[in-house]
Structure 1
Amino acid sequence: MDEKRTLRWYNLGMIAFVMVWGFGNIVNNFAQQGLQVIVSWILILALYFVPYALMVGEMGSTFDSTSGGVSSWVKETSGTKIAYLAGWTYWVVHIPYLAQKPQAVVVALGWVFFQDGSKVSNMNPMMLQLITLIIFLIFMWVASRGITSLKTIGTLAGTAVFVMSILYVILVLTAPIIRNIEPATTNISLKNFVPSFDFKYLTTLSMLVFAVGGAEKISPYVNNTKNPEREFPIGMIMLATLVGISAILGSIAMALMFDANNIPGDLMLNGQYNAFKKLGEYYGLGNLFLIIYACANTIAQISALVFSIDAPLKVLLSDADEEYIPKSMMGVNKYGAPIKGYLLTLVLVSILIIVPALGIKDINGLFNWLLNLNSIVMPMRYLWVFFAFIALKKVGVKKDKEGYKFVKNDSLGYFIGMWCFIFTAFACIMGMFPKVELFSSQWVFQLILNVITPFVLIGLGLILPIVARREKGKNK
């Protein structure tokens, strides 16, 4: 037996759960859908997440000798030009994420120092964004110096946040029994649980897709699993079950603490911290839970910021073809940081930090918009996973290779891949419609930003090959 095949299905399920899931997924989707999100979770997990994760398993098993992840899969199935676009997409969708992370750091620090969200909520939006930009500059410098200790510290902090999230669900669900706490949500009926599937509901799908995305991170572990053919799908079903239990029980816990029929407008901004503040009050511990969570989350957010500045850019440039990316972009400093890539990141992130503050005049609206923008843009990288899987089933690349297979029938696999691709694209398009008053000035401004941003970010990827060709021409 191959000694490398040491992971069992339960090991794989837990590794994937920690990778994919977070407390913010519960809070953000409850904020948008209320108790309807419970049925939404069941549908999204069964019809989208499970096939998505199993597809990733087949791709990881089929292309086990590649190291570039999704872009390598696309390269193997569709050639270098399409692979470049996949790699570019994987990197560029992190730009809104990098613009949002420093903002989240400011919010977390506000709760650490004041145990209250009003200090940040009442700031001038432009002032907040300038502080956000300064924080981004500081940690871009940190990333450029090759400081890796933050990753280790951030992993520990992220684990603490994860454990506290599970603890939150358990303590809130038991609070009515142990502490005789009255639930915040009353007048519950069947219509509270059944989604309306109207236009407003469809605009929230991107946040669900955003929440369950990222399964491609699991691919390196497929061939380390003992008997992948049998145990990998069991592990993924375990993952979906854990996510489902956490999402459903977490949503119920949120409904016990916050009125699902009258959801606070700042729940996405301050909900995580208010939840732990109230939890401490339930159990007579004051702000203890809040302070621990806010401190751990601050460190975790900072670590995620530094890692996301550096890692996606290195993925783009490490396997870069000089035909598509200028050689000058690949230069690194003595710490191994691609400086010109950092400068491009800085320009794009700075624009995305400052421009929205010119039109969105309140902190809550600004925070919610940027979070929703992430839910529109980030899933665009998942489209390449499905594209590669469709190509694999259509062309039959390495179809005779031994290893884990999601579905052995290529036609069925092609259909499932198309379903996931179309659903993801549909969710991204619907997510572009703002969650504010219809046709108001704010709605128009946010819609313009939501439509322009993805096209500009992806469109920039078409410019670099032109620059690369001109650079090669000059060097001849």
Structure 2
Amino acid sequence: MKNTKYISWPVLGLMAFVNVIGFDDIIYNFKNQGLGVITTWVILFALYVVPYGLMVDQLGSTFSSSGGGLSSWVRETSGDTLGYFTAWTYWAASIPYVVDTTNSVVVAFGWLINGNNSMEEHMSNAMFALLTFLVFVIFILLQNHIKNSLQVLNVLGGGAMFIMTILFVVLTVINLAHGTHIASAPLHLSTFTPKIDLHFFSTLGLLIYATSGSELVAPYVTRMRNPKRDFPKSIMMLTIMAGFLTIFGSFSLGVFFNDHHLPVDLKMNGSYYAFDYVGRHIGLGHSMLFLFSIAQLLYMFALLALLLDSMTRMLILDTGKRFMPRQLLKLNRNGRPINGYILTSALCAGILLMGVFLPDMNEIFNWLLNLNGIVSPYVTCWIFFAFMQLRKNSQKYKSAYVFIKNDRAAYLVALWCFMITFVAATFGILPQDVPPSSFTYWQELAMNIATPGLLLALGCVMPAITRRQHKKLNQ
């Protein structure tokens, strides 16, 4: 019975996979770069994703007894104050991610019920925001009452999404064998060469967002039987699965979509279009569409469960009484910081309210998605910062796994990753899916600057409130 308390490395690998990448991530970046994204994926995995994962391996192995993940790594290497700001910025960056994920749940229900994208045509922005918020609140309530919901949802959701992706690639090959015309033909070397311009740089943040996040499962490393040995296995499993998904998935999309004439709503509905196309072309009707809609719901529920649990654990349970007001430290009978969930809900509602003023439902979806391509890479910079600090003091920190034996070389690789991530996040502030200099462009640009700024300012206020509370108690 005691063994049931441990998380095995394949389960943790699936948990990481759920958080890091899904079929939608392939759609988003295919919309931005077409088939040229395949080359970008290959370069990104070789020069960024693999080193990223191996750095997370060493950090997780070094601090395998720490329950806060990234915030613990920064706190251990750079002190409590920077540890707090790491936890806060990671949590703040997860707010748009949670809203975007819940949006995707609403879209998935629309396809499952209607079998098409008609929900977009008939639903107002206000109703879309309201349904998103209701789904979010209902999910929080259910998660707090279902025991072991996190592991069950992640095994189901991660497994279902990976199987569906493999199935999509296999069915694409079957379609090609039966003479299906490649929509992006003719294929030349230039087809797979990304166009390097300002738009390309503005989309890099979304690529990094799609492949980052493996550190989010680090708080669960303490629940593994042998974390120093098994955590690296989970990260390598994640890297292999993500590599397969991005490269072969992107090419398969080029078979069914002409990358020179992509649908305007591809980011929101592209996954459903893709599975509907592949199913109908081999005589399965709309069955693949409905099968994917179910898998997508399982995947999004798993992602919501992981996000809400791990981000709140990192912020509330790892920063301590020095930085967080006592109200946010309150735990419910299931050991969850209930007031932290309430704060998360309030901020999600605020971001949804901002999106209501955009032109349509598709633009709300795109803006929230692109916002993640800004805040998420900025926070990812903390990983490389922590790793650089660790390698500067390598004699102090011992680990069963070491990424690059030479400290100077390891430090330079981390610095490279830090610079790429920071530049990508900064260029991501530029709106991607609207005409430059239009009213909506300037509106989204202002929102892209204001949203991270307000979340960061709130993080600075929390310690001040806590200090005031401590002062009153000591009087």
TM-score (normalizing by structure 1): 0.90
Instruction: Check the 8 A contact 1:280/1:289 in 2, yes or no.
Output: yes
Bigger mean CA offset, 7-16 vs 334-343? 7-16
Specify whether residues 300 and 451 from structure 1 end up closer, same or farther in structure 2 by C-alpha distance, changes over 3 A only.
same
Which moves more between the two structures, 390-399 or 14-23? 14-23
> 1:327-379, CA deviations, whole angstroms, 9 ceiling, x for partnerless residues?
22111233333232122112211010111211x11111111111111122122
Is residue 184–residue 259 contact of structure 2 (8 Å, CA) maintained in 1?
A: yes
Q: Distance in 2 between matches of 1:300 and 1:354?
A: 26
Report matched runs for 1:254-273 at 5 Å.
Answer: 254-273=253-272
Q: Partner of 2:405 in structure 1?
A: 408
Q: Percent identity?
A: 37
Q: Which residue is 1:57 aligned to? A: 57
CA positional deviation for 1:392: 1.0
Task: Give the drift of 1:223.
Answer: 5.8
Q: Which amino acid aligns with 1:370?
A: L
Rounded Cα–Cα distance in structure 1 between residues aligned with 2:153 and 2:326: 34
Gaps of 5+ in 2: 1-6
**Paired position in structure 2 for 1:95:** 95
Q: Distance in 2 between matches of 1:17 and 1:305?
A: 13
Give the corresponding residue for 2:3: none
Q: Distance in 1 between matches of 2:176 and 2:438?
A: 42
Match of 2:286 in 1: 287
C-alpha contact 2:153 2:301 (8 A) present in aligned 1: no
Q: Which moved more, 1:29-38 or 1:138-147?
A: 138-147
CA contact (8 A) 2:11 2:155 kept: no
Q: Which residue of 1 aligns with 2:449?
A: 451
Change (3 A) 1:66 1:224: closer
Residue 209 of structure 1 and its aligned partner are, at CA, apart by 0.3
2:209 — aligned with what? 210
Amino acid of the structure 1 residue aligned with 2:426: I
Deviation at 1:468, TM superposition (A): 0.2
Per the alignment, residue 48 of structure 1 pairs with 48
Structure 1 residue aligned with 2:385: 387
- For the residue of structure 2 that corresponds to 1:93, the secondary structure is helix
| Cα offset, 1:386, TM superposition | 0.7
CA distance in 2, matches of 1:386, 1:289: 41
Shift of 1:277: 0.9
Q: Which residue of 1 aligns with 2:162?
A: 162
| Alpha-carbon spacing, 1:341–1:297, altered in 2? closer, same or farther (3 Å) | same
The partner residue of 1:437 within 419, 435, 438 is 435
Q: Please, which moves more after superposition, 405-414 or 134-143? A: 134-143
Q: How do 1:53-452 and structure 2 match up within 5 A?
A: 53-145=53-145, 148-149=148-149, 152-153=152-153, 155-177=155-177, 179-217=178-216, 220=221, 224=227, 240=239, 242-358=241-357, 360-396=358-394, 398-399=396-397, 401-435=398-432, 436-452=434-450
Instruction: Tell me the amino acid that sits aligned with residue 367 of structure 1.
Output: F
Unaligned 5+ runs, structure 1: 1-6
Quick one: distance in 2 between partners of 1:298 and 1:458? 31
C-alpha spacing 1:72/1:206, structure 2 compared with 1 (3 Å): same
Post-superposition shift, 1:145?
A: 4.1
What is the rounded CA distance, in whole Å, between the counterparts of 2:154 and 2:11 in structure 1?
22
Tell me the distance in 1 between the aligned counterparts of 2:403 and 2:225: 12
CA–CA distance in 1 between the matches of 2:131 and 2:12? 40
TM-score by length of 2: 0.90
Counterparts in 2 of 1:227 and 1:313: CA distance versus 1, 3 Å? closer
Q: Which amino acid aligns with 1:57?
A: D
CA distance in 2, matches of 1:111, 1:10: 31
Mean Cα displacement is larger for which, 335-344 or 139-148? 139-148
The one-character-per-residue Cα deviations of 1:285-338 (angstroms, maximum 9, x if unpaired) are 111111111022123323432442333112211123212111221112333332
Contact 2:18 2:158 survives alignment (8 Å): no
Root mean square deviation, CA, Å: 2.8
Structure 1 Cα separation of the partners of residues 394 and 210 of structure 2: 31
Contact 2:38 2:250 survives alignment (8 Å): yes
Count of paired positions: 465
Q: 1:63 to 1:150 in 2, by over 3 A?
A: closer
- The answer to whether the 8 Å contact 1:434/1:446 transfers is yes
- Stretch deviating more after TM superposition (127-136 or 146-155): 146-155
Please give the alpha-carbon distance, in whole angstroms, between the structure 1 residues aligned to 2:307 and 2:239: 26
Residue 4 (structure 1) aligns with: none
Number of the residue aligned with 1:32? 32
Counterpart CA distance in 2 for 1:25 and 1:423 is: 19
Q: Which shows bigger deviation, 186-195 or 256-265?
A: 186-195
Structure 1 residues 27-77: Cα deviation after superposition (integer angstroms, max 9, x where no partner) = 111111101101100111111111111111111222222222111111111
**Could you list the per-position Cα deviations for residues 210-233 of structure 1 after superposition, in whole angstroms to 9, with x for gaps in the alignment?**
1111232575379647699xxx59
Q: Verify the 8 A CA contact 1:205 1:431 in the aligned structure 2.
A: yes
Of 108-117 and 179-188, the range deviating more from structure 2:
179-188
Tell me if structure 1 keeps the 8 A contact 2:143–2:149.
no
User: Could you give the per-residue CA deviations for residues 421-471 of structure 1, whole angstroms, max 9, x where no partner exists?
Assistant: 111111111111101100110100011111111121122111100000000
